[in-house]
Every structure is written in C-alpha cells, then in structure tokens.
Structure 1
Amino acid sequence: MTTLSTSIDRPVGALQATGRTRALAAVSGVAGLALAGASVTGTGLVAGSWVRAGLVAAWAMAGLVLAQRGSAGLAAVVAGASAVGGVCAATASSADLAGVHVVAASLIPAVALHLELVMPDGRIGRPGRRNLVVGGYAAAAVVGLFLAAGDRVPSVTVVSACVVAALMVGVSSAHQGYVRSTGLDRQRLQLLGCAVAVAIEVALVVAALRVLVDWPADAAEMAAGATALVPLAIVAGTSARVSTRVDKVLVHTVSATGLTAVVVGVYLVIVIGLGNAPAETERTLLALSMLAAAVAALAYVPARERLAESANRLVYGERLPPDEVLRTWGTRLSRSIPMEELLLQLAESLSKVLVLRRAEIWTGTPGRLELAVSVPDRTAPPLLLGDKERPVVTRAGVTGTAWLEVWLPALLEGRPKAQLRVAPASHSGELLGLLVVERAADGDQFTDEDDRVLTELARQVGLALHNVRLDSALQQSLENLKQANDDLRTSRARIVATGDAERRKIERNLHDGAQQHLVALAVNLRLTKDMLSDDPEGAAEMLDALGDAVKDTIQELRDLAHGIYPPLLMDSGLSEALRAAANRSPLMVSVVADGLGRYPSELEAAVYFCCLEALQNAAKHAPGAAVAITLRQTEGELHFTVSDDGPGFDVAAATAGHGFVNMSDRLGAIGGAVEWRSASGDGATVAGAIPLP
C-alpha cells in the first residue's frame, strides 16, 4: 500500500538521482577539457593533435552546457564521450600509456553508438537498445585489449571507419525514434541531422580531393574535425528558438550532401575508373574542374527557375504554359474567395493561358446547366440534358466539335467556324458543370497538353462545386435548425402562457360557478335547520330544493372536469371520447374511427383536443354545417381530419389565429403537424398526423 511518505520520497529520489547525474556530467566535462589541454602541451605536435584536442574540447563544452540546461542523461553521455576522447588524445604521444590510448580509441565507436541511441532526451528506451549499447561497449573493450596486447595502434582512418559502421548498426533504431518523436524533440533530431549531413559532405569532398589531387595531406584529420558540428548542434538544440524551422534546412542540407556524393562519385568513376590517376601537372586543372562542378551544382536550383521561365517564353511566347492555370487555380482554392469570383478568375486564366477566343463555365443541376461565367461576356439560354444525354456527357471526358454535334448540339449554336473543347465537371458520377473553351477555326489546334489541363481543371472544378453544394446544404440545415429552435422557444412560451390562462379560467369557473352554488347550499342548509321546529313542511320542501341544487353543482363540476381531461377519454379511448363530444355539439357530427387501439395518453389528448378545437370553430363560423371526423392509422402514423361543408375561410388569415397556433403547439410537442385547407364556399378541413412510438 502506497503511503504519503513513499509518494513524496519517489520524486525526491528522482530529483536526487538527476542531480547526481548532472554533477557526474559536469565532472566528466571538466575532465575532458583538462585532457584536451594536456594533449597539446608537448612539443612536436602535428595537425592530428590539434584536431583531437579541438574535438574533445567541443564535446566537453557541450556536456557542460547540457549539464546546466539540458537533459541530465544526455549530458552524462556527451561529457563521458569527451572524457574518453580526452584520454585517447592525451595518451596519443605517450609510449608508456600506449595501451590506454588503444583501449580509449577502441571505445570511441561504442560511444558513438551510445550517443545515437539516446538522442534527443538521454533516455535509451527499450531493453533491446540497452543490450545493443552494452554489447557495443563490451566488444569495443575486448578489441581494445586485444590490440593493446599486440602493440597495435589504430589509425584515425580506421577509427573513423569503425564509427561509421557503429552508426550504421544503430541507424534503424534511431530512425524509429525519430518517427515517434514530436515537437521540440523532433526539431533537435533534425538539427543534429543537419550537422551530420554537413560533416558527411565535408568528408566526401576531402576524400575526393585526397584521391584525385593528393590534397590535403591531413585529410583524415580534416574530415574528423568536421564532426565538431555535431556537439555544436546538440548545444544549439537546447534553445527552442534555434530549433524552430530547421526542417527545411535539413531538407536542403541532405539534398546538397546527396548532390555532392553524386558529383564525387562521377569524378571517381570517370577519372579513376575509366582513365588514369592524374599526373602532378594535371591536379590543379582537375581541382578547378571539381570546383566548377560544385559551383554549377549549387547554382542549378536558383538557375533552373529562370531557365524554365526563359524556355516557356521561347516556346509559348508571351503567354504562360498550360500548367500555370492549374497552379493558380489550386492556389486560389485555398483562399476565402466566393465561388462566382473563382470561376470568373478561372475563365480569365484559361482565356489568357490557352489563347482562347472564348472561355465559358456552365453550372447547375445534372438536367439543367446555365452559363455562369463567360469571357468575353455573353448570354445564352439554359442547356437542358435528357436522361439519354446526361450519363454520356458525364463520362465523356474532353470532347470536340464532332462529338458535340451528336450529343450537345445546343452548345454549337452561335459559334460559326470555331474549335471547341468541352470538359464535364462531375463528382461521384453526378454532372455539376461544363468547361467550354473556344478558338477560331484557323487558330492553333488544341494539343494533348491542353486536353490534359482541361481534364484536371474539370476534376478540380467538379470537386469545388460539390463542396459548395455541401456548404450550401449545411448552411440551410443550420438555418432550419435555428428556425426550429426559435419556433420551439416561441412554442414553449405559448404553452406556458396557455397553461397559465387555463388555470385562471378554471379558478374563475370554480369561483363563479361551483363555489357560488356551494355557498348558497350552506346558507340554505342553515335556514332549513332553523325551519325544522317551526315549519316542518317548509323545511322538507327546502330539502328537496337543496337536493336539486346539489345535483346541479355536481353536474357543473363534472362539466368542468370534462374540459380539463375527459374521464371517458382516459377510460375508453379516442373513439368513444370523440363520439361523446359529437353528441354534445350543436352540429350534425359523424365520427369514423374504426379499428383504432389505445395510444399513449399525451397522443390521445393531443388528437382529442385538436378535434374538439376544430368542432368549436365549425360551430362558431359554420352554424348548421355537417361535420365529419375521421381517424385512421397508417404504418407508423395516426391521421385525423375534421371536415365541414360550411362557407370556408381564408387559410392565410386563419392560420395566424390562436386556434391554429394551439393545434400546432399541441402536435409539435409530440412530433406531429397540422394543416388547414379551405376555399371560399367549399367548406374547410383540418388535417393532422402524429408519428406513433
């Protein structure tokens, strides 16, 4: 069971471990700096000594910086690497410590593998990677001891080759870590990748120069010195500002490195593989030619755009190449521009780029297309497509004049001696529009490239029109939903107001009716009590009168209760309740409600009171008319109609009244709807439908 003390001790212990790791990194970094200084204090130093000292110092400084503001685990590995390198550098010129130098040099490839696997946060992660690191150190130690026992000192070139091999062993795991990384960790890895790419590029150039022109003399040391960019990149990765937007830099750096590898490979194959090694007098010329190739490679990217523009101008004249209209249309689609404006810009671009006499875009429904945009402007009647033409046009692709004469002859009207190309804009097999381009009969012929551009444009226009239709449908749905919410809010307010009014009506009826009767009964009962001793016969007559008054009061209470919720509706259902209401009506009312069952009480109440409202309206506005009430159940719905043969009414005026509003609110609350139909002199009908649960 976890206690409070243990839950506090855990983070405290983690902080203490991190502090110890940072302290160890700082000590290792300082030791690396000291060893780097010690390696260049002797006499007779060569270039390799200064390169080793510089590398060790760079790694040591990186470890110290990470110990202050970076990952503690990464700081320990980087500072440890500087310590190993410092031992190797400090013992390079000592015969007594040759064995130590050999072991330290042998450990460098294992340190490189360790660094590769703990980037960028210092955590080694999975057990398989940890085993790989431990195995690398063990193998390096064994090899180092073996070489030391035989007094064999590995050269810089051999150590560098082993470092590359070790990095290749861990490249798969490192790539998986890069793929899983996000945010700042990924940017740090990209920054490190830039440094590695530059170091590889320097190594390639130095190696080529050494092989081809026998320069520089310390090629291995120069190539190794370029790796100082790696600790600098690790330090730069601790700054979020430096790490941002490094992805594009990495792309260009890797591209440049790959281009350098191609140039170097070509030179080696052609000069060495197919010819002879250059003589002393030829090396300067070869070096200059390699420099020229490098400059040409670097200048190719910016020069390519200008050369492409010049070539397009030469081929197409002043107009742009056909692909330009695709690029500009795709760019404009990503902006918030109305579709009408986009189509107009597209037609103008088509007219300019393809050198057209006219460019038109037709839009509409699959069976009726209208001219939406024309450059230059013109008017045209709608284009009607029958069931026979519609699927053919939708699937046709880019077509010409001969095809149009058969399937769309209406498009050829008013176009004498013209070349036409028509591309259908469709989406998911539905025709949404047409792209129509026209050239003079004696103008340039349409090419396959023009047709390809029209095909791609038609596809994109079809998708854009489909998206506009979806957006319009969504906006309409949102407006309908908003209107429904407003109607619901208004309906709820009316229901509350109606309920309050009904309660006041019940209170008034009780006060003016039953309560007055009961008060009169109480008074008459006291009078009867006083008359019993003096006038028994008068008291008996009073009691008879009181009995009649009690009956009248009971009937009045029943009528009042019937108006609130008829007991017959609760006991027997809609059919019997409506027949009872018909019998009470002053009109001749027939009820047809056969085959009905029982329904939820709220549904029966809604239908009953709507029919009762319609009966009251008929009695008020069509006295003497015959009324027919019909109820029927269909699949999933209950329908009712109340029809009369009276004089009729104005439906527009009537639906604004309280009767229609009350019915709409009652039925709308349970998902139903009501409709009033009438014409002057032709009676009236109130019809409603309610979905059944």
Structure 2
Amino acid sequence: MTDSAGWPMRILAAAGGLSLLFGVTVGIFWLPVHLALPGPLMHALPCYALGLMLWLHLPTHRTVRQLLAVGVFFSVNFALNNLLHLTTVKSDWYPPTLWVWGNVLAEAACSVAAVVVLARLVALLPDGRYRYGSERIVLRPLWPLPIVLPAVFGLFSLWALFLPVHEVEAWVFVLGALVLVARCLCSPDLPHRRWLLVFGVAALVLLLGRAVVLSSRTWASDVDTGLLYVTGLLLGGLPSLFVPVAVAVAAFRRGLLGMRLVVRPVVIYGLLWLVIGGWYLGTAMTLGLAVGQYLPLGLAVLVTAMATMVGQPARTRLNQVAARWAFGRRPTNFELLVQFGTTLEHAFELDRLAPRLACCLREGLDLRWTRVRLGSGELVAEGVAGDPAEHGTKTLIRLGDDVLGAIECGPKAEGRFTAADHDLVETLARQSALAVHNTRLTAELSARVEQTQRQARELAASRARIVHTQDTERRRIERRLHDGIQQELVALVAKLRLVRNQVRRGGEHADSTLAEVQNDAYLVIEELREFAHGIHPPVLTDQGLVAAVTSSARRLPLPVTIEVEDSVATARFPVNIEESAFFLISEALTNVLKHADATQAVIRLTRTPEELLLSVRDDGAGFQPGSAGGSGLTGMRDRADAVGGKLQVISEPGAGTTIHAQLPARSGEADV
C-alpha cells in the first residue's frame, strides 16, 4: 500500500479517534452518564479499538478496514449525539430546529452505515471478497440504506425515524449471518470453513433472537429504567461487541485474516483486561443508576458497593482466564517442582539434566533465556534455553561450602521477577545440588566398579599366565632332567659297568676308568647344583636376598654394580617377597643381556617402613615405551602383582632402561 492509498484510512481513523474522545469527554463532564456513556462503551469502543489494532498490522486487508470503518461510524454517531444534546435545549426539539434535523439525520446515516458495513463484514468473512454472484445480489442493495432510510422516514417525521432504523439494522445483521452460513455450506474449500460455520450459526441464532425481541417493542435508553434499561443496552450492543471480539480472537489465534499476527501477549492481555474492566465498571454503573431511581442515595450506594464486591471474584476469574489465553497455561510453582522432580528421576547424566532444567525454568517462569551449569572440575555440563544476549541474575548451586554450578536467568518476557520466582529458582538450585552430588557419587562408584572389574580381569589373566608359566617351566625342567642329567647318569652307569668288567678281567685299565667316572660324577654334581640354583638358589634361603643377588650378578658376563642400603643389607624379608625380588632382578638382568646391548648394569636395593624398593638400570639401547610388551615384562608385572607390589618401566631410545619395583616388606619380616 502506497502512502497516497493509505491517507483516506488514516484520516478516517483520526476522525474516529477524535470523535470517540469528544463523545466520552462530553458524556463524563456535561451530560447524564446513563445517556451519554453506554453508547460509546458498547458500540464504538470495541469496534474502533480492535479495528485500529488490526489495521496497524494489516492495513490493506478488506475485513480489517471494514471493522475500522464500523468503529469510526459509531464514534461519529455518538459524537454527533452528544454534541446535539450539549448544544440544544428542550425548546429546540418542539418543533425541531434545522440544527436538530440535520444532526439527527446525520446520526441515523452514520448508524445505518455502521450496521451495513458490519453486516457485510460478517457475510464476506474471511477475506471480504465476493465468491458468488448471489452474494452481490443480496449485499449490494444494502449500500443505499444509509441515505435512503433517513431520507424516506426522517423527512416526514423526526420521531418516526428511530423505530425503522432499529428494526432495519436488526434484520440487516441477520441477513449478514445468513449469507455467511450459506457461503460456508456452498464452499468446501473456504479457509477456516469449520470455524466460520460455527461462528455463522451462533451469530445467526443470537442475532435472529435479538431481531425478534427488538421488533416486539420500542427500546429507548432515555425512557426505559431498571431491568428494561439494562436489557436494551445489552441487546443494542450485542452485534458491535460480539462480532469484533470474535474476529479479533480468530485473527490472533487461528490466522483467520490470512496471516499470523505477531502481537505481544501483554498487548492482548491488556486489551482483554480493558474489556473485562469496562464490563465490570459498566455493570456496576448501570446497576447503581437503575437502583438510584427507586431507592434513597445512601441505600443505592450500599447496594452498588455490595454488587461490586460480589462481582469482584467473577472479574478476578475472568482476568485469570484472559491471562491463560494470552500467555498460555503456565505451571504453578508446585507443578514446576513436581516436573523437575520427575526430570531428576529419569535423567541421571548431567548432560541430559542441564538442558532439561534450563527448558523447565524458561517455560515455567516465561523467561527470555536460561543457562544452567552443573558440576565442577572435569565433570561439567551446560544447558541453554533461548539466546542469552542480555544481562541476567545468577544463582549459585551449593552443597555446603562446595559450589556445584550456577543457574542464570534472563529477564521475563512479560513483567518482572517476583520474590516467589526467586524462591522457586533457589529451591530448584538446592534440588540440582543434590542431583549433581548424587551424579558425582555415581560417577565415582562407576569408576571404582570399572577399576575393580579391570583389576579382576587383569588378575584372572595374570593367574592364567602364571599357570601357563609354571607348566612351561615344569616341562623345561623335565626336558633338562631327561635330556641332560639323566643321560649323563646313564653314561656314568655304563662306565661303572665297564669298570666292573675290567676288574673281572685283571684290572689293567680299571684305575683310569674309575678316574673318568669320578670326574663325570663331579660334573653331574656341578650341573645339578647349577640346575638347582636356577630353580631356587640355596644361598637365597641360607643368606638372604643381597647375597643371592650378588652371587647371581657374579655369574654374568657383564659388569654389574650393586648398591645396597644398610637397612637392606642385614634384613630378611618374607620368603615370597625375597623370591619375587630375586627373580625380578634375575629376569631384568636376563633382558639386559638379551636385548639391551649394554656395557654395564646397576642394581639398587633400598627400603621404606612399608616397602622394599629395587631397581635395575642399564646403559643400553632402550626402547619406546609401549612398543615393547613381550612375555618377559609381562611376567615381571605378574610376579609383582602376585605379592601386591607394583612394577614401572622407564625407557627411551638410546638412553637405556630402568625397571623399578615396589614390594610390600612388613608382613612376615624378620631382621637378623
């Protein structure tokens, strides 16, 4: 819409606003309230306010422009009516002066024009355009009524003008509702057809009943009193209140006008609050005026006050319904706590709990954004709902003196934070602290369970390797005994048999043969000693760990330095500890000879009150940690684990290798 095309509607809207302001001002300060105010409140204000609001969003929509035009016509009508009563006296009406004639005819024309436009608006919902030729035939003849009706009846008698106007406008509304129902029945593709059909049928029933009642007698606000006065007001304002409100609700909630209107909920609630407040005030004023005509002033004031007190709960309930309709249903604080409690039951991980808490808080308190951080240290999760672009309030999540996270809340979409909102956030923070604490305990328990399971698997594997090693060693001993010592003993027995035969034949060579047998026996004894030393060196049992290590190191073709702490030199340890330490050192020295290509090795033995510490260091080739994991190192780890100790291997390519072992040294210890 160009600026030139929008100027007529702008001028019309301005004229309607000024007329409404003038009519209300005159009605409040200079005219009787029961004659001047009900008209603007019941007819002009709903149509003009809702029409203006919709027109600001949809300035080119035909239905919206028609609704604004209805409000303008009603506003001008009541402005002219109040102006006429303000500028005339009773004598000007008997007989009517030219000023009175002109104003009354203009009022009638505006009233009929408003009725025609409003009826056409109802008939052509939702787009304000004709769909069938029959609609043009029925509705287009209504356009001349604002001129023809006042001209035909008003020129003959000023008082004869009011009755036809009321009757004609009542049946014109019925005609508009009837056309809408027919349009819905004949148009399966009509947008929002089901809702429009319901609205059309409801409007047809209400307006038809209204037309029958209005046609049964003459209703006049300046003559009727009491219940008749109230009934006349309600009947007169029914179309101008029911139709605009229904159209506005459908436009906001159902997209009736072809697009979704983005209106802040606070604006919708404010308008509904004004409508409810206007109804409450109008009802109280009407009741007070009606009672004041029959009762003394003091008693009338008392009755009005009591009626106001009785109507206050209904007004409060209506305001609550309006708030729920505008802002949506919001959970109460108790419901929010229950909802979060349910979340805690099903979300055991902080990564799931933090986003749920953020969404729960944002929806429950209608916040623009929420950010929740749960956990501390390595166990931290964050959940964000909305866009945290503005400054917010921060509530720490504490458990005792420990800070376990924070809840940051942005401003509310509508309104301000209340004390109840802060209490709710703090309550959720306390619940979150317990959840984080429980999650930490669960994580620690899971880690310990996993560690225990891993240790159990390692222990099972270690036991399997130990059993396999024992079987392998047993077979090795068997082969060595069978292939080595047993064969030498068999040869020794054969030589003894030879000596016996030589002695029987004269014994010339018996001495030399016996000498050979003696030497062979010494060799077998030495081999048995070496074999026994490999299984369990006697010196380890007789003299202890240091002596056994020293004896073993002397046998190596490699310079070995032994560093022994004084507290270890004379100490004896439990048998299993001494055996494990000796064989760890022996295996380490064997690895040095096989793989290190070293020129020397250093053995160091120290102790603490709780542990025996040993290390074997060489200056060999070394290796990359993790690349060497043969059976030698694995067996050494198994041997250390078997007695509750620990083994650590430190090595770098070109920098040699160091093996550290820590073995328990208190249980069964005996110093000598």
User: How high is the TM-score relative to the length of structure 1?
Assistant: 0.47
Structure scoring higher RCO (CA < 8 A, sep ≥ 6) equals 2
User: How high is the TM-score relative to the length of structure 2?
Assistant: 0.49
